[in-house]
Chains A and B, each alone.
Chain A
């Protein structure tokens, strides 16, 4: 199964619309309502507004989206406390994995890992074009944290964010 841009999957969906009972995005279900609704309702808008790119694993045979990952650029900065003059530190430019999810019919096939490596490869490309130092991921819960930890992400304490250096890839 190929990883394609969201747009490409929507075009494909249009081309076979009469054969589809529900849309590709509507039938996606990873078990987490917020991750489902992002794909169903917001991914396209974010893509059109150039605020996040979503890539999907398209299962053409079964006419399903098996998983997706959304990427955007971010900057990690030290929050300045008003009244305290400090030497300005450079922000850390990074790629943000905002959301990554796999439909529960496809779990156990290492598709999450496939999407993660895809994001890593994109990060390397982004670094060549506009320089980044890290990849950050937003995690929803402890099981997500455990998943990312295995690949070397480290939790930034008291946040829902984990970070890995681009050097590690």
Chain B
């Protein structure tokens, strides 16, 4: 079950009146209070941004990290006992 999260954190930010009125009007149209509306919309946008980040499809590493990844790829094959077991268990060939 997804647990109900405690709302202990505060996001505080200042805006001009025009922005606030604008958001308030949109919130009213959506039937939400201003905070609920802002959070709901921000979460939607954040999810989109995270998906977009995933879409960049690149893993950027520091020199050391990259050297390590390269060494894993270059190393001779080695199969852990657990992997061997798993391949036997689940492959139907």
Contacts and interface: CB of A to CB of B under 8 A. Distances in A.
A168 B82 CA distance: 12
Interface string A145-158: 00000111010111
Interface string B52-91: 0011011111111110111011011111101100110111
B69 A75 contact: no
Interface stretch (A11-19, A61-69, A76-84): A76-84
A131 to B, nearest CB: 12
Q: How large is the interface on B (under 10, 10 to 19, 20 to 34, 35 or more residues)?
A: 20 to 34
B10 interface: no
A150 B65 contact: no
B59 A151 contact: no
A49 B48 CA distance: 12
B11 interface: no
Most chain B beta carbons < 10 A, residue from A74, A94, A168 = A168
Given A89-B66, A134-B69, A167-B77, A76 B59 contact: yes
B51 interface: yes
B92 to A, nearest CB: 10
Interface residues of A, number: 50
B86 A117 contact: yes
Contacts, number: 116
B77 A165 contact: yes
Contact of A77 (B66, B68, B90): B66
Contacts of B55: 49, 51
Interface in A115-149: 116-118, 120-121, 133-134, 136
Interface string A2-27: 00000000000000000000000000
Interface of B: 1-2, 47, 51, 54-55, 57-66, 68-70, 72-73, 75-80, 82-83, 86-87, 89-91
7 contacts: A46-B54, A79-B61, A94-B59, A134-B73, A152-B82, A165-B77, A168-B78
Given A74-B57, A158-B65, A165-B75, 16 more contacts: A29-B1, A45-B51, A51-B54, A72-B54, A72-B57, A75-B58, A79-B60, A116-B86, A120-B87, A150-B80, A159-B65, A161-B59, A163-B69, A163-B73, A164-B72, A168-B78
